[in-house]
């Protein structure tokens, strides 16, 4: 009898625990959905225009800027994301008074404005006040005026917030920079009182400076409102996630040249000119193939340390993730007038390409990702020896270098230190690629039977 009671009790405990666990899972799911408001059903939901403060604020703002002759285009990632998803499902139109894109709950709707059209900002602010908007404009230094001459740049408008009721319009001011791209600055709050104006942490633009291609725009009807948007929404959304921009460190570069005066000889000047032309050609070619790349090795060190090409480096170095490799790279560079000089390794292991432009070489190193590290390989043509260069994992940022928009590792210091050690700031004119780097390791030898494939010299 006691044994039977024990079995019944255990069964009841198991059933009770299971029911309790199911209840917890159900409660968590409902809580998570209510907190985030971005589940699948929410993406498909539509709202009544009459009940949407968000839609009314956007409509009033667009009408106001239209009267003021201020051309804007929508860059809000949430709205564009919903629009893009519905375009894929071929259901972009909304019937009756229902809207799908501008009415769902959120704190901001974000628009972009080119700085050349930001001339009527005073009259726009007055008109906004008459319409019942509160506004805040945030400024910063103009990096286009910064450089080796020490100019810090004048103050320019970077962001403007127009708030009405519980919704705000975030206006991001984009500036055209010399590399034929658009840049926006970081949103910096100077007073604690500013932080109470709107929940700035929820902004999608402004946490860091950003760089974007010039978008081609099209006019779209979104929830009954005519709004300009990027024609290639998917491409723009991809840019948003990888837009972080970092400036060249001009202050540190000036300090470097005080210790180590610049080489202004004719030979150095001529090499810098050739290297710049080669880099421009490489950037154009890789951009045409839509292959992300970054400044690597000595070219990255030159940008980070002295905002220039190192005159004694004698080549240009770029890095590309091996997952972005395509066989089209070689013919594309050859078509651009850069013959292949050598091809080492293979796609599965230690691939490296070099192209020749007169007496300046372009090295493209392909990087392989591991759990905690990244590496690129090297091959000694005479012996078949393999070398591996280890780097800590890094993310992709943009910068402007020699009047070009190019990629660089966001964690540049760690990247440079891995390659050149803690004394990277001291010039080293004698460099052996097999022994000098701090991160080089011998990595075996290519089998002689593979040499015809993995060691190709032209």
pLDDT, mean over the chain: 87
Residue 272: pLDDT over 50:
yes
Residue 95: pLDDT over 90:
no
Lowest mean pLDDT among 43-57, 97-111, 114-128: 43-57
List the structure tokens of 273: 């000119």
pLDDT band at 16 (very low <50, low <70, confident <90, very high): low
Cβ(112)–Cβ(75) under 8 Å?
Answer: yes
Lowest mean pLDDT among 50-54, 67-71, 192-196, 301-305: 192-196
Closest alpha carbon to 431 in 288, 317, 263, 287: 317
Query: Pick the residue with more confidence: 107 or 50?
Result: 107
Residue 51 confidence (pLDDT): 67
In 3-state terms, what secondary structure has residue 389? Answer: strand
Residues 6+ apart with CB under 8 A from 99: 46, 47, 49, 52, 55, 223, 224
Distance separating the N- and C-terminal Cα atoms of the chain = 91
pLDDT band at 6 (very low <50, low <70, confident <90, very high): low
Residue 259 confidence (pLDDT): 96
| Cα angle: 125, vertex 130, 133; to 5 degrees | 65
Query: Pick the residue with more confidence: 11 or 381?
Result: 381
- 352: which strand partners? 344, 365
Residue 87 confidence (pLDDT): 72
Cβ(290)–Cβ(337) under 8 Å?
Answer: no
Residue 365, number of CB atoms within 10 A of its CB: 22
Q: Rounded to an integer, what is the distance from CA 178 to the centroid of its chain?
A: 18
Parallel/antiparallel/unpaired status of strands 385-392 and 373-379: antiparallel
Per the listing, tokens 């994301």 go with 81
CA dist., res. 396 & res. 127, Å (int): 41
Cβ(128)–Cβ(80) under 8 Å?
Answer: no
The whole model's pTM is what?
Answer: 0.85
Lowest mean pLDDT among 151-165, 173-187, 232-246, 410-424: 151-165
Residue 2: pLDDT over 60:
no
CATH architecture of the domain 49-87+97-242 equals: 2-Layer Sandwich (3.30)
In 3-state terms, what secondary structure has residue 315? Answer: strand
Residue 152 confidence (pLDDT): 66
Summarised one tens digit per residue, pLDDT across range 203-229 is 899 999 999 999 999 999 999 999 999
- The domain segmentation of the chain, as residue ranges, is 49-87+97-242, 250-457
Residue 160: pLDDT over 70:
yes
CA dihedral of 110, 115, 120, 125, whole degrees rounded to 10: 40
Cβ(350)–Cβ(378) under 8 Å?
Answer: yes
Residue 17 confidence (pLDDT): 59
Arithmetic mean of pLDDT, 134-160: 84
| DSSP symbol at 117 | G
Residues 6+ apart with CB under 8 A from 41: none
Write out the DSSP string of 9-70. Answer: HHHHHHHHHHHHHHHHHHHHHHHHHHHH--SHHHHH--EEGGG-HHHHHHHHHHHHHHHTT-
Residue 31 confidence (pLDDT): 36
Query: Pick the residue with more confidence: 36 or 6?
Result: 6
CA dist., res. 152 & res. 318, Å (int): 30
Residue 144 confidence (pLDDT): 85
CA dist., res. 348 & res. 341, Å (int): 20
Per-residue b/e over 44-76, b at no fewer than 16 CB within 10 Å? Answer: eebbebeebebbbbbbbbbebbeeeebebbbbb
Lowest mean pLDDT among 21-30, 114-123, 252-261, 403-412: 21-30
Cβ(153)–Cβ(202) under 8 Å?
Answer: no
Lowest mean pLDDT among 9-18, 257-266, 325-334: 9-18
Percent of the chain with pLDDT over 70: 84
Per the listing, tokens 């240009």 go with 316
Residue 86 confidence (pLDDT): 79
| DSSP symbol at 216 | P
Lowest mean pLDDT among 14-18, 111-115, 167-171: 14-18
CA dist., res. 313 & res. 282, Å (int): 17
Percent of the chain with pLDDT over 90: 69
Summarised one tens digit per residue, pLDDT across range 346-378 is 999 999 999 998 889 999 999 999 999 999 999
Residue 91: pLDDT over 80:
no
- 390: which strand partners? 375
pLDDT band at 94 (very low <50, low <70, confident <90, very high): very low
Residue 435, number of CB atoms within 10 A of its CB: 8
Residue 383 confidence (pLDDT): 96
Per the listing, tokens 């929410």 go with 42
List the structure tokens of 336: 């651009």
Residue 99 confidence (pLDDT): 81
Summarised one tens digit per residue, pLDDT across range 17-70 is 555 555 444 443 443 333 333 444 444 556 666 568 899 999 999 999 999 889
């Amino acid at each position: 009898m006691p044994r039977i009671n024990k079995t019944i009790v255990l069964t009841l405990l198991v059933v009770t625990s299971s029911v309790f666990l199911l209840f917890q899972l159900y409660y968590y799911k409902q809580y998570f959905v209510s907190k985030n408001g971005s589940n699948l059903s929410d993406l498909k939901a539509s709202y009544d225009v009459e009940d949407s403060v968000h839609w009314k604020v956007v409509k009033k703002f667009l009408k106001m800027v239209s009267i003021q002759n201020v051309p804007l285009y929508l860059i809000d990632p949430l709205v564009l994301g919903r629009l893009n998803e519905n375009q894929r499902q071929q259901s972009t139109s909304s019937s009756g008074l229902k809207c799908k894109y501008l009415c769902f709950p959120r704190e901001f709707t974000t628009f972009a404005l080119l700085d050349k059209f930001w001339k009527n900002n005073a009259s726009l602010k007055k008109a906004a006040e008459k319409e019942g908007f509160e506004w805040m404009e945030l400024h910063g230094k103009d990096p286009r005026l910064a450089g080796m001459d020490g100019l810090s740049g004048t103050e320019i408008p970077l962001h403007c917030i127009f708030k009405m009721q519980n919704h705000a319009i975030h206006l991001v001011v984009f500036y055209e920079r010399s590399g034929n791209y658009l840049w926006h600055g970081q949103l910096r709050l100077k007073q604690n009182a500013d932080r109470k104006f709107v929940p700035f942490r929820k902004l999608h633009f402004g946490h860091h400076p950003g760089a974007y291609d010039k978008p081609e725009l099209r006019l779209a009807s979104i929830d009954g409102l005519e709004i300009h948007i990027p024609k290639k929404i998917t491409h723009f959304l991809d840019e948003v996630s990888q837009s972080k921009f970092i400036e060249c460190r001009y202050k540190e570069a000036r300090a470097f040249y005080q210790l180590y005066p610049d080489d202004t000889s004719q030979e150095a000047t001529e090499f810098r000119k050739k290297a710049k032309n080669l880099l421009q050609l490489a950037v154009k070619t890789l951009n045409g193939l839509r292959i992300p790349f970054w400044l690597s090795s000595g070219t990255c060190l030159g940008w980070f340390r002295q905002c220039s090409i190192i005159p004694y480096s004698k080549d240009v170095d770029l890095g590309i993730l091996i997952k972005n490799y395509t066989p089209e790279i070689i013919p594309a560079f050859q078509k651009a007038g850069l013959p292949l000089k050598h091809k080492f390794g293979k796609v599965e292991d230690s691939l490296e390409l070099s192209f020749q432009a007169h007496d300046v070489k372009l090295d493209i190193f392909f990087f392989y990702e591991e759990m905690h590290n990244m590496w690129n390989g090297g091959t000694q043509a005479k012996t078949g020896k393999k070398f591996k260069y280890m780097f800590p994992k890094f993310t992709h940022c943009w910068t402007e270098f020699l009047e070009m928009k190019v990629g660089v590792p966001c964690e540049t210091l760690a990247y440079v230190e891995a390659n050149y050690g803690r004394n990277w700031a001291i010039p080293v004119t004698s460099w052996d690629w097999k022994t000098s780097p701090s991160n080089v390791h011998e990595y075996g030898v290519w089998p002689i039977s593979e040499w015809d494939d993995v060691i190709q010299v032209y």
